[in-house]
Structure formats: structure tokens, C-alpha cells
Amino acid sequence: MSLLAHLCRRIRMEGPLSVATFMMEALGHPRYGYYMTADRFGAAGDFVTAPEISQMFGELIGLWCADYWERLGRPDPLLLVELGPGRGTLMADALRAVSQVLPDFVAAVRIHLVETSPLLCLRQAAALAPYMKLVRCAPAWHDRLADVPEAQPLLVIANEFFDALPVRQFQRGERGWSERLIDLDPETEALRFVLGQPGGPSTLIIPPRLRQGAIAIGTVIDISPTGQSIALELGRRLVASTGAALIIDYGHAALVPTDTLQAVRRHAPVPVLSEPGETDITAHVDFAALAASAAEAGAIVHGPVAQGTFLRSLGIEHRAATLCRDATKAQAADIDAALHRLTANDAMGDLFKVMALIGPGQPVPVGF
């Protein structure tokens, strides 16, 4: 059975699926899910994340963590948590860079990786293997943030994690808001979008400012209850103990989180419903909603700021120049191209945002 056949069977038995349920199945089904069946990263895959573009990204994030560890008074032990670590490239680059300038930080950390794909867990273990002699404990893997130990100082990295969390979609109509659902076309048996009943129970998760506001007819919005729940959990933990969370993703801080659901295969956009299980399905991150959830738990929010601005404040241009000094002409060209891609407004520099969450009374982190 394919994932499409599984989804069709489920719709026939249960009725139309929410967009969130469709995303969870398409990305995380234990047998057919997109992240469960293959390594999707890199030029040979479907998309490239910042750590895969250049070592500079992971190096600077690692140094940001080490700097904040010092600002917190060098707690030992410190939980270093990454949500959705991909291939482990970011964490490996971070450990390598920091071990050269502040080995005490690497010795103090206890690495915890939140990952649901067994395949990616193996890739992460291989990427981190060269650095295990530098740390006191082997990394621990968890399916959920809730499984990470509590009551200890922590630093959390979430790079392109929230964009892959499931969203529910709602559309404004003449009679109010309706949830956007996924059903079967009765003639073709193909997946299609339909609308639920106006004012159904699920519409209660729409914020009052949108549910009662003057929103144009036909507007579709994305809401990620899962993302907001994780932001609330991060805020709660940061209030209960010292630390920070660094969230890096593409998204917006707009008041109206309009339809951004998208699918990609082989680095090109494809229809969202076309090949479930074979395409990367994401939505732009609603940073305002994440900030509100974290603040509700008592955390202090800094940002979001543009990724380009953030990386330049950490010294990425100086790091690129240093790397270029010992590089061949071709290598230097690659470094310059990576710098542009990570920081330029016409690339990732403006679309991607960076937000920090910290506990009350803690120092402001660098870059904000």
C-alpha cells in the first residue's frame, strides 16, 4: 500500500482530513512518511538548509550558544538541545568551532536531539561521532521536546523546525470561517481541498482578532497549534530554569497569517496534494504566534530579526574573509556564494527570521 492509498482509505472511513492530519501523515507516517523513507537533504535531495550551504552557519550558531553560556555564568551541566537536527551538520559544525576556542563549553554540554526519523538519527550519530571524545556523555535522542529532561539550564536550537510542523487552515466566507479540509473527488478519486461547515468547533482556535476582524472574503489563514504548543513549552522551561531558545526559520510577523502551505520536490514547487510522502510540505512560520505563546508562559522574546542582519552581527563576513585567505579561487567563489545566499535580501537573508526566547531577568543575547 502507498501513502496515497492509505490516505484515500482513511478518508473513506473517517471523512475529510484536516490539513494538519494530512501533513502529519505525509511527513511522519512510520512506513510511508516523507522523512521516514529517505535522506531528503542536499543538492541530490529536495531542499538545502543553511547548515548544508556552508559550515559558517553552524559555526556561528555554536559560538552564539557558547557566548550565551558564558553570560549565564557557565552552568555545568548544560543541556544543548536541537529540534529537528537534519543530518546533524549544524551540531557537528558548532561543536568543532567551539571546541577550538572554548573547550569548557563543549565539556559542559549534554546533547539532546529531538528527532522522529530513525534514518536521520543514524545520520546524526555518524556526523557527531568525531566529536564524542570532546563531550562527557553520548547524545540522547527523543521523539518529543517533552521527553528532554527538565530542571536544568538549557540552550535550544530550532533551525527550520517549525516550518514542517502541521498547520490547520481556515477560509473566510460569507457566513464566517470554515476549516479547509482534504477530501476525495467523487469522480476522479483524487485528493482535493473542500470546506467544512462555517463556524464549526475547530474555528475556535482562530484568534479573536481574526475571528471577529474585518478579513476579506476568500482569505485563507494558517494556524499551527503544534508550533504554538511547543513555543509555550519552551517558554515554560526557560522560566523554570535559565537558558535560551534560538528559532531560525522562514516566515513572517504579519498580523494575518495568510495561506503559505507549499510543497517542494527536487528543489522545485509542486502541488501540495500531488505526491504525498514524496514531497516536502511546509508552511511559513507565524513568529507573532510563537512569540505570544512563549510570552504567555512568562518568557522574554527578542526579535524576530532578519537572518542576514543576525549573521552579520555574529561576524559571518569576517569568517568568510578568513576562510577565503587559505582557499583556492574556486573555493573562495563558493564561500562568497554561500555568504550571499545566507545573508542577502534577495536570497535567505530577509525571508528567514531569527527569534530568541530567554528566561526573565537574563542578559540580552548577542544579535538582538
Contacts of 187 (CB under 8 A, 6+ apart): none
pLDDT, residue 43, reads: 59
Task: Quickly tell me which residue has 551538520 as its cell.
Answer: 89
Q: Between vectors from CA 241 to CA 151 and to CA 235, what angle results, nearest 5°?
A: 105
Contacts of 54 (CB under 8 A, 6+ apart): 335, 338, 339, 341, 342
Q: Which three cell numbers stand for residue 108?
A: 559542559
DSSP-assigned letter for residue 201: G
pLDDT, residue 296, reads: 97
pLDDT, residue 44, reads: 57
Task: Phi first, then psi: give them for residue 312, nearest 5 degrees.
Answer: -65, -35
Q: Which three cell numbers stand for residue 279?
A: 514531497
CA distance 126 to 366: 31
pLDDT, residue 339, reads: 97
Antiparallel, parallel or unpaired: β 78-83 and 109-114: parallel
Q: pLDDT per position in the chain (368 positions), as tens?
A: 688 899 999 999 999 999 999 999 999 988 888 888 776 666 555 578 999 999 999 999 999 999 999 999 999 999 999 999 999 999 999 999 999 999 999 999 999 999 999 999 999 999 999 999 888 889 999 999 999 999 899 999 999 999 999 999 999 999 999 999 999 998 888 999 999 999 999 999 998 888 777 788 999 999 999 999 999 999 999 999 999 999 999 997 666 667 899 998 877 889 999 889 889 999 999 999 999 999 999 999 999 999 999 999 999 999 999 999 999 999 999 999 999 999 999 999 999 999 999 999 999 999 99
Q: Which three cell numbers stand for residue 274?
A: 500531488
Contacts of 295 (CB under 8 A, 6+ apart): 235, 301
For residue 137, give the nearest of 120, 119, 112, 102 by alpha carbon. 112
